[in-house]
Amino acid sequence: MAERLNIKSTIINNCLLLITVLISSPVYAEYNQSILDTIDYTHPFWYALSFLVILLLFKIKAMIIKSRPRLLLKSLYSRFDVSEDNNTILLYYPRKSKHHVELKLTNIMQSDIFLNDQLINTINKTVNNGFNTGIYNTIQHALTTESRFKMTDKRIRKIHIVISCSHYKKYTICLYLRKGNTRLTKDKYQSVIKSLTQWCWLIATAINPENTEVKTESEMTSDKRSVSS
């Protein structure tokens, strides 16, 4: 009991000292520094406080992005191109004509497609994560169902791809983002759906051909370069 009281007393004293520093005048900077030097920062309380502060900052950031989704686009890629030899993916930031990253198809380990931050498709080297007509129909159903919802002022519709590469890096492409009646990306919803289909066949054929349905060259390459910001 005495030990618990001592811990509580230490925490309270440290908090009071910190508050004193924060609200005092800069004139007493030297005195403030002496107060800070007396605080025991190795106490578990400070680790817990740091964790809570970081958690709060992430929460605030998420709330800001949700209320102003346009901010999200600034940190994400918004379109891709496929090289003429079909071996490289080029990623572009919004409103940029020059690509920022080149990804070899051989270095891509996984593709995840999200609709409104819900995972609707994964392609990787495992048996169940190739691509075929049945998986295509499942994706189409999810995307078509979403298109039937009325876009109210606060409703957000988003489609994005997360690419995982062999060098433990991930790249996010936000192909479609809309809030209410305002579309924040260039391509229309149906155009993005078409591009997603082409993306899935391309990636699945490249990284998991054994578990991917065979498609003709014309079916796989038709309009494959149409994704825009």
**Which pLDDT tens digits describe the chain residue by residue (229 residues)?**
555 545 555 555 555 555 554 444 444 445 445 544 555 555 565 566 666 666 665 555 555 445 555 666 777 898 899 988 888 999 999 888 899 999 999 999 999 999 999 999 999 999 999 999 999 999 999 999 999 999 987 889 999 999 999 888 999 999 999 988 888 888 999 999 999 999 999 999 999 999 999 876 555 555 444 333 3
- CA distances from residue 71 to 88, 145, 184, 205, 229 in whole angstroms, order as listed: 28, 27, 10, 34, 14
Q: For the chain, what are the domain ranges?
A: 2-67, 71-221
Quote the pTM value. Answer: 0.67
175 contacts 79 by C-beta, under 8 angstroms: yes
Q: Where are the alpha helices (DSSP H) in 74-209?
A: 133-147, 189-207
Could you tell me what percentage of the chain is helix, strand and coil, using 3-state DSSP and rounding each to the nearest 5?
A: 50, 25, 30
Q: How far does CA 2 lie from the centroid of its chain?
A: 48
Count of Cβ atoms closer than 10 Å to residue 172 Cβ: 16
Quote the pLDDT of residue 143: 96
Count of Cβ atoms closer than 10 Å to residue 206 Cβ: 18
Rounded to the nearest 10 degrees, what angle do helices 44-67 and 2-23 cross at? Answer: 50
CA distance 194 to 178: 17
The DSSP H or E segment spanning 163 is strand 156-165
Query: How many Cα atoms sit within 13 Å of 8 on the Cβ side?
Result: 5
Read off the DSSP letter of residue 105: G
Using alpha carbons, select from 166, 205, 174 the residue that is nearest to residue 80.
174
